[in-house]
Amino acid sequence: MRAPLMPTDDATRDEPLAEGARSDGLDVAAIEAKWRAAWDEARCFESRVEPGRPKYYVLEMFPYPSGRIHMGHVRNYAMGDVIARYKRARGFNVLHPMGWDAFGLPAENAAAERGIHPAAWTRDNIAAMQAQLKSMGLSLDWTREFATCEPEYYRHQQRLFLDMLAAGLVHRRASMVNWDPVDHTVLANEQVVDGKGWRSGAPVERRELLQWAFRISEMAEELLEAIDGLERWPDKVRAMQRNWIGRSAGASIRFELSAAAPDGAGEIEVYTTRPDTIFGASFIALSVDHPLIRSLEGGNPALAAFTAECRSAGTSEAAIEQGEKKGFATGLSVKHPFVPGLSLPVYAANFVLMEYGTGAIFGCPAHDQRDLDFARKHALPVLPVVLPEGADAASFAVGDEAYVGPGRLFRSDFLDGFEVETGKAEVIRRLEETGRGEGRVTYRLRDWGVSRQRYWGCPIPVVHCEECGAVPVPTSELPVTLPEDVTFDAPGNPLDRHPTWKHVPCPACGKPAVRETDTMDTFADSSWYFARFTAPDCAEPTDADAVDYWMNVDQYIGGVEHAILHLLYSRFWARAMKITGWLPAKAVEPFDALFTQGMVCHETYRAGGRWLAPEEIERGAGGAVTERATGAPVEVGPSVKMSKSKRNVVDPEAIIARYGADTARWFMLSDSPPDRDVEWTVSGVEGAYRFLRRIWRLTESAADTLPPAGAAPGALSDAAMELRRATHKAISEVTGDIESFSFNRAVARLYELANAISRAPSPEGDAGAGFALREALEAFARLAAPFVPHLSEEIWARLGCEGLLAETAWPEADATLLVRDRVVLPVQVNGKRRGEIEVSVDAPKDEIEALALADGAVLRALAGAVPKRIVVVPGRIVNVVV
């Protein structure tokens, strides 16, 4: 199907394109290197505080140094670069930095597997990825580059930690964790698969450990309310953050135990969002981790067996989803707060979470599905107390489905007749009156546990002393640096088993003590890097003048996978840094605008159950796809996110080597709206490459015949005017499209401008045509510069223009060229398009009506009918209504 010289699906091979493809004299690799050197030389992209000059801070989420950039990076950074170059051309003092989110587990895994030190592995990766990013021609201020794994960065993070500790924003508390007994480490929920550690395969234990935690839950309400002000964030992300914080209003109710529990407890406090259904309560259920249950376990082996079983069950979603509602009757009972003589049995239940509310609920089976399932299983009463509109009070019953809708309360004593919402208020009022409970707001958001039993993270700057407790390391002794001499041949935390590092005198009393050997969650590193970029060499965490000038980030761009944790943590840190004096009040919401880009997808290929990479397949005549090496038929699967496991990845380095960075950038931005997924295709890349060469040929063929830049000669031909109008339309539209993040539309507008240039009259012997063509080509270069900066510079230079395009102002559209003096108006009859008329743009209505009614096609459609009304929308449309 394809001729041999056409690059096909093996486009990821490194060979540059055949000579024939470059017969136009465009040596992509050479010009790209040349212009990058020119920008470096001119230091175009370095920025500094310039009081009084408007600034623009554009930031893309910084990468983890995995070793190679992937297409997701290309997309992310191409978008950010469009914004940065555009804003710079608009006269802003642009801050566009890059750095490395360099702590994390993969470095330790590499160390364990290959015997490389995590620091060496990370630094090598940074060097490799930095070279790759530089090859993209991004307008980054590399003088601000830093890696979070270097003491020059994390010393300040330790300082911030200590300030937060002093301000009460960090505390040490016991918390339940997933503990891998083989690897001797805490696992995140995502690292627990089917109840087993993802690496060790060992059954995970739930353990209580002392862990450092940021008190983010104290800020739940503020973090929630401030979401309303994030007007330039995607609704989706705002909704996700709201859900994550998970505010719910309800009541806590204290139920008096009929007989005191073994631990002396006299009551059980439950949390509910449906206090109005209190008269439908038929049982109490406690989490198996509830202190009362724990106190009962000792004297009740059957209960202990039950709780042990529940705790060993996986905490994964799937396990919970399939798990049935299990309960164990404790034999205890409580008194109903409003019904004298009524007692409710107390269960331990697997579906009650200790982490939410009070770890105890009252069950109202008629109006909660889980409670109903539980009640049916344990033969507990189901008492409807909410009567749906129109239902009969005497016969209304609940079967297998709980009634959770609105209605009026009944069989509820003093609540009878109340609506659900007013009933809630009334019962809360009564609870508060009798001292049996009160209204209470609960959040799903929990404190952020940051202790990690890892080596490759920021050391927590605390020393544990038997006498003094947890003692902060004095700021004068920062940084607490990671020891270099560590081994990864044994499970557990190398810091913990290091022979000397952790043994230090107590900073307070001087007696022998031990360092905290846990390191911080790497999310901490990325929670304030945006502030550090404003003054990366400052001796303190931030510089007041720099953060005052540069903050906030005007435009933040990254993947939606960070919609919750990273962004929420950053919002928390910004507030904490304001409290501790490291950020101004205006920066508590550090990201003014957020854009979340879609993923990069590619078709998938399988042969005989094996995944094949794109370069391993071949397309034959008739579209048949086969494996290149074996000729085996290949099954082509749907386009999904590029991933190593499905092998549907295309390496940006290979693409850049073959086509150049401009082609990669252009295609990445051309096809799909930036917030949607984009499918990477060879034909699309080919198309992008063809187009860039075409515009170069247009430049090349015209350049020597163009008049020098200057004022427009007196009269222009119609064709020249047509080109001028196309040029200024493109300027106007591309500008709007970049402002609205519609890069795919901007690209389409540039194709249109190129098409107009193709149709342009010859400049030879026609000064007006020459003027229009020069204007069009210069405009193309300037408008395309944010997308394809190297080629644009080359065109700019070829046209003999002064200076670097990277330092040239954005073009302005001439408004007089955007309006035409004559327009074609479609004419509808009853809303159906029947004909069109050409009128002068300011033609009076009656003239337009007369012309419309005289149009042949319109007359035919009217078929003699008399118009009842004629709607004329000036410059738009005419509609004849009969």
Partner RNA sequence: GCGGGCGUGGCGGAAUGGUAGACGCGGGGGUCUCAAACACCCCUUCCGCAAGGAGUGCCGGUUCGAGUCCGGCCGCCCGCACCA
Q: By CB under 7 A, what part of segment 692-721 binds RNA?
A: 693-694, 697
At 286 the three-state DSSP class reads: strand
Shortest Å distance, C-beta 547 to RNA: 31
Among 59, 352, 450, 547, binds RNA (CB under 7 A): 352
Q: Of residues 406-435, which lie at the interface with RNA (CB under 7 A)?
A: none
Interface with RNA includes 670 (CB under 7 A)? yes
Interface with RNA includes 857 (CB under 7 A)? yes
Q: Of residues 308-327, which lie at the interface with RNA (CB under 7 A)?
A: 317, 320-321, 323-326
Q: With contacts defined by CB under 7 A, name the span among 164-172, 199-207, 586-594, 667-675 that binds RNA.
A: 667-675
E-strand ranges in 444-531 read: 448-449, 451-452, 462-465, 469-472, 503-505, 512-515, 519-520
Q: With contacts defined by CB under 7 A, name the span among 84-92, 345-353, 536-544, 655-663 that binds RNA.
A: 345-353
In what helix (H) or strand (E) does residue 333 lie, and over which residues does it extend? strand 327-335
What is the rounded (10 degree) CA torsion for 238, 242, 244, 248?
-170
- Cα separations in angstroms, 501 against 123, 454, 514, 515: 23, 14, 9, 8
- Cα separations in angstroms, 172 against 168, 215, 471, 514: 10, 10, 12, 16
Size of the site for RNA (CB under 7 A): 91
Residue 521 per-residue DSSP state = -
Amino acid identity for residue 547 in this structure: V
Residue 719 per-residue DSSP state = H
Assigned token pair, 813: 């559209």
The torsion angles phi and psi of 296, rounded to 5 degrees, stand at -85, -25
Using the minimum distance from each CB to RNA, give the nearer residue, 298 or 323: 323
Interface with RNA includes 755 (CB under 7 A)? yes
- Non-local (6+) Cβ contacts of 699 within 8 A are 777, 795, 798, 799
Q: How many helices (H) and strands (E) does the chain have?
A: 26, 35
Distance between CA 28 and CA 663 in Å, rounded?
10
Shortest Å distance, C-beta 654 to RNA: 19
Using the minimum distance from each CB to RNA, give the nearer residue, 236 or 586: 236
CB burial class (10 A; 0-12, 13-18, 19+) of residue 641? middle
Q: What residue has token string 């007196």?
A: 714
Interface with RNA includes 747 (CB under 7 A)? yes
Interface with RNA includes 215 (CB under 7 A)? no
Among 671, 700, 722, 849, binds RNA (CB under 7 A): 671
Interface with RNA includes 744 (CB under 7 A)? yes
Using the minimum distance from each CB to RNA, give the nearer residue, 21 or 482: 21
- Non-local (6+) Cβ contacts of 836 within 8 A are 824, 825, 826, 827, 855
Shortest Å distance, C-beta 238 to RNA: 8
Interface with RNA includes 762 (CB under 7 A)? no
Residue 287 per-residue DSSP state = E
Interface with RNA includes 597 (CB under 7 A)? no
Shortest Å distance, C-beta 501 to RNA: 36
CB 270 within 8 A of CB 255: yes
Using the minimum distance from each CB to RNA, give the nearer residue, 170 or 730: 730
Residue 182's CB: how many other CB atoms inside 10 A? 15
Among 828, 839, 843, 852, binds RNA (CB under 7 A): 828
Amino acid identity for residue 637 in this structure: G
Assigned token pair, 692: 């860039």
Shortest Å distance, C-beta 56 to RNA: 24
Interface with RNA includes 529 (CB under 7 A)? no
Q: Of residues 534-563, which lie at the interface with RNA (CB under 7 A)?
A: 560, 563
Using the minimum distance from each CB to RNA, give the nearer residue, 303 or 753: 753
Shortest Å distance, C-beta 267 to RNA: 17
Among 50, 194, 355, 438, binds RNA (CB under 7 A): 355
- Non-local (6+) Cβ contacts of 107 within 8 A are 118, 119, 121, 122, 456
Interface with RNA includes 368 (CB under 7 A)? yes
Shortest Å distance, C-beta 356 to RNA: 4
Residue 786 per-residue DSSP state = T
Which residue, 430, 428, 454, is CA-closest to 441? 428
3-state per-residue secondary structure call for 85-106: HHHHHCCCEEECCCCECCCCHH
Shortest Å distance, C-beta 300 to RNA: 21
Among 442, 493, 522, 580, binds RNA (CB under 7 A): 442
Interface with RNA includes 841 (CB under 7 A)? no
Shortest Å distance, C-beta 67 to RNA: 24
Distance between CA 80 and CA 84 in Å, rounded?
6
Shortest Å distance, C-beta 176 to RNA: 12
Shortest Å distance, C-beta 722 to RNA: 14
Alpha-carbon torsion 253, 259, 260, 262, what sign?
A: negative
Shortest Å distance, C-beta 29 to RNA: 18
Residue 520 per-residue DSSP state = E
Residue 290's CB: how many other CB atoms inside 10 A? 20
What does the radius of gyration of the chain's CA atoms come to, in whole angstroms?
34
Q: Of residues 236-275, which lie at the interface with RNA (CB under 7 A)?
A: 236, 239-240, 243-244, 246, 248, 250, 271-274
Interface with RNA includes 353 (CB under 7 A)? yes
Among 351, 448, 569, 796, binds RNA (CB under 7 A): 351
- Non-local (6+) Cβ contacts of 487 within 8 A are 494
Interface with RNA includes 635 (CB under 7 A)? no
Shortest Å distance, C-beta 764 to RNA: 18
Q: Of residues 86-115, which lie at the interface with RNA (CB under 7 A)?
A: none
Interface with RNA includes 676 (CB under 7 A)? yes
Interface with RNA includes 361 (CB under 7 A)? yes
Using the minimum distance from each CB to RNA, give the nearer residue, 386 or 546: 386
At 237 the three-state DSSP class reads: helix
Shortest Å distance, C-beta 608 to RNA: 25
Using the minimum distance from each CB to RNA, give the nearer residue, 58 or 747: 747
Using the minimum distance from each CB to RNA, give the nearer residue, 304 or 877: 877
CB 401 within 8 A of CB 413: no
Interface with RNA includes 865 (CB under 7 A)? no
Q: With contacts defined by CB under 7 A, name the span among 169-177, 460-468, 752-760, 808-816 that binds RNA.
A: 752-760
Interface with RNA includes 860 (CB under 7 A)? yes
Amino acid identity for residue 458 in this structure: C
Interface with RNA includes 824 (CB under 7 A)? yes
Q: With contacts defined by CB under 7 A, name the span among 97-105, 224-232, 584-592, 682-690 that binds RNA.
A: 682-690
DSSP bridge pairs for 387: 408
Interface with RNA includes 566 (CB under 7 A)? no
Interface with RNA includes 758 (CB under 7 A)? yes
Among 683, 701, 762, 840, binds RNA (CB under 7 A): 683
Interface with RNA includes 359 (CB under 7 A)? yes
Interface with RNA includes 619 (CB under 7 A)? no
Shortest Å distance, C-beta 873 to RNA: 5
Distance between CA 572 and CA 394 in Å, rounded?
53
Q: With contacts defined by CB under 7 A, name the span among 338-346, 463-471, 676-684, 773-781 that binds RNA.
A: 676-684
Q: With contacts defined by CB under 7 A, name the span among 297-305, 485-493, 628-636, 681-689 that binds RNA.
A: 681-689
Shortest Å distance, C-beta 749 to RNA: 8
Q: What is the DSSP string of 738-760?
A: HHTT-HHHHHHHHHHHHHHHHTP
Distance between CA 190 and CA 201 in Å, rounded?
14
Bin 186: left if φ > 0, else alpha if -120 < ψ < 50, else beta: beta
For the chain, the 3-state helix, strand and coil shares in percent, each to the nearest 5, are 40, 20, 40
Interface with RNA includes 23 (CB under 7 A)? yes
